[in-house]
């Protein structure tokens, strides 16, 4: 599929988000910074621009901003909102809430790939109000009701 994109940071003209391998699900997002950004451990998250804006247009799609597993697992660079949800009608700059959940200072360099964007299909539901649900195998069981083995 094709998505409209605006390049807000001209340094990204030849460096648009791309799939690293044919099977990649995520498009890496770069930090549109003018200078390195230092994130102290446990400090409140900092909003970092990505230098691009996308317009999905079709309400049957959304995009998710997710941590990169290497940075998240090894350095503790994750997202202040845990997961970012990009609505199909959002036209502003894609932002990354950068949060250092680790114990060491993290320095994000300009144009470093800090997070990834995954385009996903979405179903917009409507509600059908009922008094009782038709019985299901699970019923109201949850929170470990099926055991662990
Ligand atoms: O990590 C993120 C999360 C959100 N957004 C943008 C796109 C999204 O469509 C918009 C609104 O996000 P969301 O609906 O999650 O936030 P909200 O707090 O509900 O704001 P709003 O009232 O604007 O919907 O902010 C980002 O750029 N990055
Ligand atoms: Mg919202």
Q: List the one residue out of 93, 99, 84, 78 whose CA is nearest residue 32.
A: 93
Name the residue of 86, 94, 116 to mutate for ligand 1: max ligand atoms within 8 A of Cβ.
86
Name the residue of 55, 90, 98, 119 to mutate for ligand 1: max ligand atoms within 8 A of Cβ.
90
Torsions phi, psi for 69 (to 5 deg): -65, -35
- Would residue 67 count as lying in a domain? yes
Domain extent at residue 76: 4-121
**Among 29-33, 68-72, 81-85, 90-94, whose mean pLDDT is lowest?**
68-72
- Would residue 32 count as lying in a domain? yes
pLDDT at site 50: 98
- Would residue 38 count as lying in a domain? yes
Q: What is the mean pLDDT of residues 4-19?
A: 96
User: Binding site: residue ranges?
Assistant: 68-70, 81, 85-87
- Would residue 80 count as lying in a domain? yes
- Count of domains forming the chain: 1
- Would residue 13 count as lying in a domain? yes
CATH number at residue 66: 2.70.40.10
pLDDT at site 51: 98
User: What's the pTM?
Assistant: 0.95
- Would residue 145 count as lying in a domain? no
């Amino acid at each position: 599929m094709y998505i409209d994109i605006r390049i807000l940071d001209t340094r990204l003209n030849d460096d648009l988000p791309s799939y690293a391998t044919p099977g990649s699900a995520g498009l890496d997002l770069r930090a549109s910074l003018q200078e390195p950004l230092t994130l102290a451990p446990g400090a409140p998250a900092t909003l970092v621009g990505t230098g691009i804006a996308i317009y999905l247009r079709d309400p049957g799609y959304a995009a998710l901003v997710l941590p990169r597993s290497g940075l998240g697992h090894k350095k503790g660079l994750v997202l202040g909102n845990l997961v970012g949800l990009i609505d199909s009608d959002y036209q502003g700059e894609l932002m990354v809430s950068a949060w250092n959940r680790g114990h060491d200072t993290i320095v994000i360099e300009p144009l470093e790939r800090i997070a990834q964007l995954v385009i996903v299909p979405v179903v917009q539901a409507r509600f059908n109000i009922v008094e009782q649900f038709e019985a299901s195998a699970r019923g109201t069981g949850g929170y470990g009701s099926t055991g662990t083995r």
